[in-house]
């Protein structure tokens, strides 16, 4: 049975992965305590014992955009330095695969968070260069119901303020359910030819104002302006990646060399051909808020 270690295993995605990897011997690692079996309480900045693990799935990150703008050293330590340390330790221990969970905000980043994830992406991609350990980057959009997600934030703020504070009515993002993200990560991890490629899901976009309507339909919206690090749209496939992108049924696979099969321009959350409707977003919110 394959032995899998999930870094950041107590977060929303890590917990979901652990629950869905039923055919594996799964361990989780996080600084938080956890009473579930096979949990390792440790900091990835210092944890070194990767012996015996076949696959590492790296979900751990400092991901609050606003906090990253003011706590820059902590952001770099958690998202960059810890990734470099974990990669070296996993490689030295003979780990076969290392799957890193990234974000669309790492593409042409405009924030400290995005820049830190871009650097971590580069570390993971580069670690596959000598062929000793297979690596891949999974580039995800916004995970609904994850800690700090826009759905939860709008719900909380609408109750606290009596209105929904929207940064800009033009803002768009990519949308994925936590379950879909977990299944996508597992599917990538089970590929046999991982060589530092980036896997980006084919998914719908959403308009931020539509999320506000879906989560708090009876509350007014107030435009409050962009914060430091905010972007009107996020990019799933950059223009500079187009010539290295292969389009497959479930994902865009971005490699190191040319292999274009279907992408003709940058794909971002504003020009994405598919958008979720307010009704779809409301149904998703009912689903996740009832759990």
Q: Comparing 67-71, 98-102, 146-150, 181-185, which segment has the lowest mean pLDDT?
A: 146-150
Number of domains forming the structure of the chain: 1
Over residues 73-86, mean pLDDT: 98
With 90 as the cut, is the pLDDT of residue 118 above it? yes
SS3 content of the chain, % helix, strand, coil (to 5): 35, 25, 40
Strand positions, DSSP E, the chain = 3-7, 25-30, 39-41, 55-58, 97-103, 134-140, 142-143, 164-166, 172-176, 197-201, 205-207, 221-223, 235-237, 245-247, 251-254, 267-268
Over residues 89-98, mean pLDDT: 98
pLDDT, the chain, mean: 93
Over residues 206-225, mean pLDDT: 97
With 80 as the cut, is the pLDDT of residue 258 above it? no
Structural domain including 81 reads: 3-289
Q: Which residue has the tokens 């389009």?
A: 247
Say what the pLDDT of residue 148 is.
66
Say what the pLDDT of residue 34 is.
87
CATH number at 270 reads 3.40.50.720
Q: Which residues of 104-132 are buried (b: 16+ CB within 10 A; e: fewer)?
A: bbbbbbbbbbbbbbbbbbebbbebbeeee
């Amino acid at each position: 049975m394959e032995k899998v270690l999930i870094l950041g295993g107590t977060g929303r995605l890590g917990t979901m992965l652990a629950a869905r990897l039923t055919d594996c011997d799964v361990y989780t690692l996080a600084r938080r305590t956890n009473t579930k079996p096979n949990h390792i309480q440790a900091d990835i900045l210092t944890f070194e014992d990767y012996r015996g693990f076949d696959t590492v799935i790296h979900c751990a990150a400092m991901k609050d955009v606003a906090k990253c703008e003011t706590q820059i050293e902590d952001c770099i330590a958690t998202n960059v330095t810890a990734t470099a340390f974990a990669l070296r330790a996993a490689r030295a221990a003979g780990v076969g695969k290392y799957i890193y969970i990234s974000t669309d905000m790492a593409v042409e980043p405009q924030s400290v968070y995005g820049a830190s994830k871009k650097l971590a992406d580069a570390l993971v991609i580069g670690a596959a260069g000598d062929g000793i350990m297979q690596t891949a980057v999974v580039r995800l959009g916004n995970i609904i119901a994850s800690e700090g997600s826009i759905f939860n934030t709008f719900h909380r703020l609408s109750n606290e303020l009596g209105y929904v504070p929207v940064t800009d009515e033009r803002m768009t993002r990519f949308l994925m359910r936590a379950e879909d993200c977990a299944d996508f990560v597992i599917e990538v991890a089970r590929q046999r030819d991982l060589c530092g490629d980036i896997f980006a899901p084919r998914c719908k976009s959403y308009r931020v104002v539509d999320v506000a309507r879906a989560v708090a339909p009876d509350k007014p919206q107030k435009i409050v302006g962009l914060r430091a690090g905010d972007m009107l749209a996020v990019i799933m496939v950059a223009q500079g990646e187009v010539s290295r992108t292969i389009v497959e049924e479930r994902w865009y696979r971005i490699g190191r060399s040319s292999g274009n099969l279907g992408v003709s321009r940058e794909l971002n959350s504003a020009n994405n051909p598919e958008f979720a409707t307010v009704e779809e977003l409301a149904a998703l919110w009912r689903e996740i808020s009832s759990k």
